[in-house]
Amino acid sequence: MHNALDMLNVCIAPTRLCNLRCDHCYITPELLGDKTQMAEDVYRETFVRIEELFKADRKVSKINIELLGGELTMMPLAFWERNLPWTLERMAAWDALYDAEAALIWCTNLIFKDDGYVGLLNRMGEQYGYGLDLFVPWEPDTNRFKKDFKLLPRYLKTLEAISGIKRKTLCITMSRAVIEQGPQFIVDTFIPKGITDVTCDMLYPAGSGKAYFQKNCTYGQVSDYIIELRGLLPDGVELSPLVEMESSCRTLTHYHYPGNDTYDIEVEPSGEVTFNSSYTGDESSFGTQTLSVRDQAFAAKTIFNNTPELRLRHSMPYAACGECEYAVVCSGGWAWHKQLPRHMADLISHGDCAGLKRVWDFAKSRTGISAGDRSRYLSMIERRQLRGAVEARRLDTAINRGSESVLIESAFVCDYDDYFAQFNRARMVLMTDGLLHGKTWTERLFFYDAIGAHVRVDARWMERAAIEGGEELFRHIVYRNYHYLNFPVIPVANLIANQDWRLSKLLSSTVAHLRHGSAKGAGSGRHDELVEFAYKLLSAESNAEVNLAD
Ligand code: SF4
């Protein structure tokens, strides 16, 4: 199944120190008392590295930066007086230079030690408009607001005082208490204080949130809540999941809400980078070797070390996704729930799926369309495939002339840094069996695809790929999750035909239907790439027959 992943999401935590330390927090509890502050040069270098990464990965086109903690306002006000305008200028430049739809999200618990933050945020909001999004939480049962909601009046007063920011988003962490309270509470309590957007987050079992996960509500309750809330909110207030679904179901190109982004990296106060922002401390998703924003090879190392997470974002562990029209963008719903143990999944998997399909259907009915039009997306991938074919031919020509050499993976098994040093130009790679620096074939192919490298593919490669990556690897090939890498159609089809995979059955039934003049056969859901692959196969087979007859 294809997934349209295109977002570089980066969470930067200049401090983990927090003044509230709520019961449920996903951050490892010890970190919330850690007074380490990010050095200013590390903070600024982070943005240099993010820009390098954005330019190095040819498959991302959008940037989302979240500034969070701990609590951001535990940093000295002077740090943000200097660095918030600097950040917003830089991101406005990305927007203009790269058409990157770059957005900056400032996450805060609104319990400020220094009231100067109100003035700073108002000035920044007035100057940079929609470039800055204030993101505030609502969690009624995490002890965030202390006994009898003691801190809530202070929170609301600050929220109202920050009137210069155009987009103020309320993030509701869904739990049984939220469901019992009902959506009218949100309308009555927060909208009069200037909230312009509402979004709903789900719990995931990280940090002390593992115990809190038991208070989770079901997906069905979340869907009902969102649909009811839309009916209660004033027209001018956006409900993010619904707005995103409405826009997404038209073209099935981009969808950020459930966290299936290409990257979800985290930058710690020390400058260390990990690969899943929802897990911290020992639970973090680490690279093969410790990675810092100080590393000169940051971009290549980040693309490489992110590939296991990227694979997970592409995965859809639920049988229903195979037949779902939204799967190409929903990608199996909540990214952080895909690996839940059975007993935890059983707590929440009632009344709807992890992607809230009932809300998708509601969003689609509001748009009035009958089916999403993927043509823009499919032609973009076709262009990338053509570009990849030209690049691979150029590399082969240069290698045949002796002006370029093949990069042999096995020569770099023992030298991590030297391996990355090879990618200062486009390369043709000869893959070695097994893991390389901890990454599988499926993962390394994602790396090469993103950075503009290509791989030597022959009949033997196909057999080895089936052993190394199995059905998953060939599904990525057929559904073109590798955008630039080219694989010969007939050998890929022959290999698939000889396996006992679900993909083998889908392909053979699609080919059989096409032979009889019908485009059906791939089942329900969106299987456009599979159908195109089958057409290419039929065309390649008839060309081969003509050549034989000649
Ligand atoms: S909406 Fe549900 S069934 Fe459809 S892809 Fe998302 S998680 Fe799967």
Domain residue extents for the chain: 7-367, 375-549
Burial class (CB in 10 A: 0-12, 13-18, 19+), 311: middle
Atom number, ligand 1, closest to the C-alpha of residue 332: 7
Residue 159 is predicted with a pLDDT of 98
Atom number, ligand 1, closest to the C-alpha of residue 324: 4
Angle between helices 298-314 and 441-451 (to 10 degrees): 120
Kindly give the distance from the C-alpha atom of residue 321 to the centroid of ligand 1, in angstroms, as a whole number: 5
Atom number, ligand 1, closest to the C-alpha of residue 325: 4
For the segment(s) 7-367, the CATH number from 3.40.190.290, 2.130.10.10, 3.20.20.70, 3.40.605.10 is 3.20.20.70
Residue 544 is predicted with a pLDDT of 77
Which residue puts its alpha carbon closest to atom 8 of ligand 1?
Answer: 321
Residues with CB under 6 A from ligand 1: 316, 318, 320-321, 324, 326-327, 330, 332-333, 353-355, 357, 360
The structure's pTM equals: 0.94
Mean predicted confidence (pLDDT) in 130-139: 94
Mutate to test the pocket of ligand 1, among 329, 357, 359, 362 (most ligand atoms within 8 A of CB): 357
Kindly give the distance from the C-alpha atom of residue 333 to the centroid of ligand 1, in angstroms, as a whole number: 6
Atom number, ligand 1, closest to the C-alpha of residue 330: 6
Task: Check whether 362 has a pLDDT greater than 90.
Answer: yes
Mutate to test the pocket of ligand 1, among 202, 353, 359, 524 (most ligand atoms within 8 A of CB): 353
Distance between CA 410 and CA 258 in Å, rounded?
38
AA letter at 278? S
Kindly give the distance from the C-alpha atom of residue 238 to the centroid of ligand 1, in angstroms, as a whole number: 23
Which residue puts its alpha carbon closest to atom 3 of ligand 1?
Answer: 321
What confidence category does residue 520 fall into, taking pLDDT thresholds of 50, 70 and 90?
Answer: low
Residue 63 is predicted with a pLDDT of 92
Residue 23 is predicted with a pLDDT of 75
What confidence category does residue 204 fall into, taking pLDDT thresholds of 50, 70 and 90?
Answer: confident
Which of 182-191, 253-262, 460-469 shows the lowest per-residue confidence on average (mean pLDDT)? 253-262
Mean predicted confidence (pLDDT) in 237-244: 94
* Percentage of the chain exceeding pLDDT 70: 98
Residue 280 is predicted with a pLDDT of 92
| Predicted confidence (pLDDT) per residue in 77-131, tens digit | 999 999 999 999 999 999 888 877 777 999 999 999 999 999 999 999 999 999 9
Atom number, ligand 1, closest to the C-alpha of residue 320: 3
Q: How far is CA 376 from the centre of its chain?
A: 21
What confidence category does residue 526 fall into, taking pLDDT thresholds of 50, 70 and 90?
Answer: confident
Kindly give the distance from the C-alpha atom of residue 317 to the centroid of ligand 1, in angstroms, as a whole number: 10
DSSP 501: -
Residue 447 is predicted with a pLDDT of 98
Distance between CA 116 and CA 177 in Å, rounded?
33
Mean predicted confidence (pLDDT) in 422-435: 97
What confidence category does residue 475 fall into, taking pLDDT thresholds of 50, 70 and 90?
Answer: very high
What confidence category does residue 523 fall into, taking pLDDT thresholds of 50, 70 and 90?
Answer: low
Kindly give the distance from the C-alpha atom of residue 507 to the centroid of ligand 1, in angstroms, as a whole number: 22
Which residue puts its alpha carbon closest to atom 6 of ligand 1?
Answer: 355
- Residue pair 88/129 in contact (Cβ under 8 Å)? The answer is no
Count the Cβ atoms, other than its own, within 10 Å of residue 469: 19
Task: Check whether 521 has a pLDDT greater than 80.
Answer: no
| Predicted confidence (pLDDT) per residue in 330-354, tens digit | 999 999 899 999 999 999 999 999 9
Higher per-residue pLDDT: 368 or 545 = 368
Mutate to test the pocket of ligand 1, among 5, 260, 330 (most ligand atoms within 8 A of CB): 330
What confidence category does residue 550 fall into, taking pLDDT thresholds of 50, 70 and 90?
Answer: low
| Predicted confidence (pLDDT) per residue in 42-69, tens digit | 999 999 999 999 999 999 998 999 999 8
Distances in whole angstroms, Cα of residue 312 to Cα of each of 3, 262, 444, 472: 11, 10, 14, 11
AA letter at 371? A
Distance between CA 57 and CA 452 in Å, rounded?
8
Residue 545 is predicted with a pLDDT of 73
Burial class (CB in 10 A: 0-12, 13-18, 19+), 77: middle
Kindly give the distance from the C-alpha atom of residue 293 to the centroid of ligand 1, in angstroms, as a whole number: 35
520-548 burial: b if 16+ Cβ within 10 Å, else e = ebbeebbbbbbbbbbeebeeeeeeeeeee
Across all residues in the chain, what is the average pLDDT? Answer: 93
Residue 1 is predicted with a pLDDT of 55
What confidence category does residue 2 fall into, taking pLDDT thresholds of 50, 70 and 90?
Answer: low
Residue 69 is predicted with a pLDDT of 86
Kindly give the distance from the C-alpha atom of residue 323 to the centroid of ligand 1, in angstroms, as a whole number: 9
Residue 516 is predicted with a pLDDT of 85
- Total number of residues shown for the chain: 550
Mutate to test the pocket of ligand 1, among 202, 324, 328 (most ligand atoms within 8 A of CB): 324
Q: How far is CA 383 from the centre of its chain?
A: 23
DSSP 439: B
What confidence category does residue 145 fall into, taking pLDDT thresholds of 50, 70 and 90?
Answer: confident
DSSP H helices in 233-285: 240-251
Mutate to test the pocket of ligand 1, among 255, 315, 318, 361 (most ligand atoms within 8 A of CB): 318
Atom number, ligand 1, closest to the C-alpha of residue 323: 3
Mean predicted confidence (pLDDT) in 160-171: 97
Residue 242 is predicted with a pLDDT of 95
- Residue pair 172/199 in contact (Cβ under 8 Å)? The answer is yes
What confidence category does residue 542 fall into, taking pLDDT thresholds of 50, 70 and 90?
Answer: confident
Residue 25 is predicted with a pLDDT of 82
Task: Check whether 208 has a pLDDT greater than 80.
Answer: no
Structure tokens at 189: 């309590």
What confidence category does residue 20 fall into, taking pLDDT thresholds of 50, 70 and 90?
Answer: confident
Structure tokens at 140: 């009624």
Atom number, ligand 1, closest to the C-alpha of residue 327: 5
